[in-house]
């Protein structure tokens, strides 16, 4: 996940839960809650109660306390989701359920380079054409990718586990199948990396965190299984900031290939770094609040954050059950479409996923689309004004009639507690056991402190924030009824948080470079479940630029 320095921390349990366990002096030998504890605790939640009211509460509070103890006697694995399922669909919305095969851009005549190392930055489409035509084999490509991962990981620190044995076996199978005329689709024989919060049978799934560095989950995540069925080749479990925050994991900091003095941002740190450096053709990342957008921006990759409920999270570490999303990080927009098509759809286990069509075609006419742009955010984003202005101008040159829009006026800061609450619940046992001390980052703005402080958000306020979220979803639906998609600076204003709360999809792609020669980005936001239009529009912009074709010099 990605967080600003203004993030306020919290959790789902009642304010009294931690107060009562820490203020022993206010309790008797049986550890019962006394009026003094209630009086002090009420200050944290901004409420006042009379002496009589506090006295009346004591029986209920002590009754609840005993219930907390009973709940804690039952071990809850991170994979156990709450029985409450978030639904981003506003009233009256009906997703498209007419299923057609996707259409991809034709690949022109292509020949394998004399030096196969030149394949490092080829697109999935081009690599697939070379494999299908027999000019290269999946095994050759996989060996090249593994060699580059081994060669450059000492500089980038983007690999947690190489899955070399599995990769070579999968590549050999792909070659055998293709030789026999069996074609699984455009990912057949293509190597990839997975963020190490996705389980892969036989390998460690560390979540990037010291307490889990030896964890083995003996089943494949749904996304890993879907990609294997598509013929893709898993070559590495890639780094993530510990428990999906930032780019610092238990062994190191993942680096930005454009500037090795700089972290790659997070939390899909290794996924973006490895793709940008030409170590893998694509990778799977995840986003709760910016974890695809942020590292894709830093590293100059193209990332798709799908609509909430599009891709199964079975076998993925849970951080926020109502906000977590899995998506591809690639070199091009159409590569994202190819990967997305392979991983979407229900698996019968993640109950948040619905079966909705993805009828992608690269053909799009901007003159027939209503394209909005966040006028106030573009006006206030002075740091990247040159890149933003150029991006909007390019869209107009391509025929876009840009419509100024504004986001709803909602208290974004107050709604951050939804993520904090769910994250603290997901790692409740880590906090109570004291093993959170093992995490590398122990500053105030890091998970250990967030999880502890999060226990002080009342359950009532968590519910109220989600009720406000319902209103936000309805207001966003009104905005999206005016446009087919809209454009936003990647980090200005509340767009990143709001659209993660409402579940809207986005594509982030490079739109230039700053004065230090590091990539910058622009974000396209689409309607719920309309990744097809969103990707087609982003592709048209990307095809009219060459920023995605520029690569970090140290890794060419």
Catalytic positions are: 195, 267, 291
Percent helix, percent strand, percent coil in the chain, to nearest 5: 40, 15, 45
Q: What are phi and psi of 102, to 5 degrees?
A: -70, 155
Q: What are phi and psi of 383, to 5 degrees?
A: -65, -40
**Contact by Cβ (8 Å): 187, 339:** yes
d(CA 102, CA 210): 42
Give the SS3 label for residue 547: helix
**Contact by Cβ (8 Å): 290, 500:** yes
**Contact by Cβ (8 Å): 125, 338:** yes
d(CA 198, CA 317): 7
Closest CA to 521 of 304, 282, 203, 202: 304
Chain-centre distance for alpha carbon 208 = 15
Q: What kind and span of H or E run contains 178? A: helix 164-179
In angstroms, how far apart are the furthest CA atoms of the chain? 85
Q: What are phi and psi of 405, to 5 degrees?
A: -135, 165
- The size of the chain, in residues, is 556
Classify burial at 70, counting beta carbons within 10 Å of its beta carbon; exposed 0-12, middle 13-18, buried 19 or more.
Answer: exposed
Cite the beta strand spans of 364-484 per DSSP E.
371-374, 402-405
Classify burial at 539, counting beta carbons within 10 Å of its beta carbon; exposed 0-12, middle 13-18, buried 19 or more.
Answer: buried
**Contact by Cβ (8 Å): 238, 299:** no
């Amino acid at each position: 996940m990605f967080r600003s320095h203004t993030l306020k921390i919290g959790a789902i349990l009642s304010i009294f839960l931690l107060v009562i366990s820490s203020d022993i002096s206010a309790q008797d030998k049986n550890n019962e809650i006394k009026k003094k504890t209630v009086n002090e605790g009420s200050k944290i939640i901004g409420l006042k109660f009379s002496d009589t009211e506090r006295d009346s509460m004591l029986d209920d509070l002590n009754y609840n306390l005993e219930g907390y103890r009973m709940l804690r006697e039952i071990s809850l694995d991170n994979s156990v989701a709450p029985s409450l399922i978030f639904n981003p669909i506003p009233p009256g919305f009906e997703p498209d359920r007419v299923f057609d095969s996707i259409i991809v851009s034709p690949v022109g005549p292509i020949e394998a380079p004399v030096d196969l190392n030149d394949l490092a930055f080829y697109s999935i489409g081009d690599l697939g054409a070379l494999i299908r035509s027999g000019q290269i084999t999946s095994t050759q490509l996989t060996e090249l990718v593994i060699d580059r991962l081994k060669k450059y990981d000492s500089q980038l620190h983007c690999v947690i586990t190489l899955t070399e044995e599995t990769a070579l076996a999968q590549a050999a199978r792909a070659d055998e199948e293709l030789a026999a005329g069996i074609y699984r689709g455009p990912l057949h024989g293509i190597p990839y990396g997975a963020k190490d919060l996705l389980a892969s049978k036989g390998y460690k799934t560390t979540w990037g965190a010291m307490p889990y560095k030896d964890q083995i989950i003996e089943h494949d995540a749904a996304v890993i299984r879907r990609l294997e069925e598509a013929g893709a080749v898993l070559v590495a479990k890639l780094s993530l900031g510990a428990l999906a925050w930032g780019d610092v994991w238990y062994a190191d900091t993942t680096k930005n290939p454009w500037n090795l003095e700089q972290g790659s941002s997070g939390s899909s740190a290794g996924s973006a770094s490895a793709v940008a450096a030409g170590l893998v053709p694509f990778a799977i990342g995840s986003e709760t609040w910016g974890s695809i957008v942020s590292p894709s921006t830093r590293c100059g990759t193209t990332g798709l954050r799908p609509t909430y409920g599009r891709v199964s999270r079975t076998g993925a570490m849970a951080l926020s059950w109502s906000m977590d999303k899995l998506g591809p990080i690639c070199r091009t927009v159409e590569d994202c479409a190819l990967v997305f098509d392979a991983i979407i759809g229900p698996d019968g286990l993640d109950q948040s996923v619905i079966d909705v069509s993805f009828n992608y075609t690269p053909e799009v006419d901007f003159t027939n689309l209503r394209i909005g742009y966040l006028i106030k955010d573009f006006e206030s984003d002075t740091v990247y004004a040159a890149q933003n202005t150029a991006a909007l101008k390019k869209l107009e040159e391509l025929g876009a009639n840009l419509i100024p829009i504004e986001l709803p006026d909602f208290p974004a800061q107050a709604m951050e507690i939804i993520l904090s609450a769910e994250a603290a619940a997901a790692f409740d046992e880590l906090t109570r056991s004291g093993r959170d001390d093992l995490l590398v980052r122990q500053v105030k703005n890091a998970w250990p402190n967030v999880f502890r402080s999060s226990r002080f958000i009342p359950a009532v306020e968590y519910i109220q924030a989600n009720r406000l979220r319902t209103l936000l979803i309805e207001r966003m639906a009104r905005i999206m009824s005016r446009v087919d998609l809209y454009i936003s600076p990647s980090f200005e204003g509340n767009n990143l948080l709001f659209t993660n709360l409402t579940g809207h999809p986005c594509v982030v792609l490079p739109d230039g470079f700053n004065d230090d020669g590091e990539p910058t980005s622009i974000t396209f936001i689409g309607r719920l479940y309309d990744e097809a239009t969103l990707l087609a529009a982003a592709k048209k912009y990307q095809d009219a630029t060459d920023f995605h074709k520029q690569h970090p010099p140290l890794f060419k």
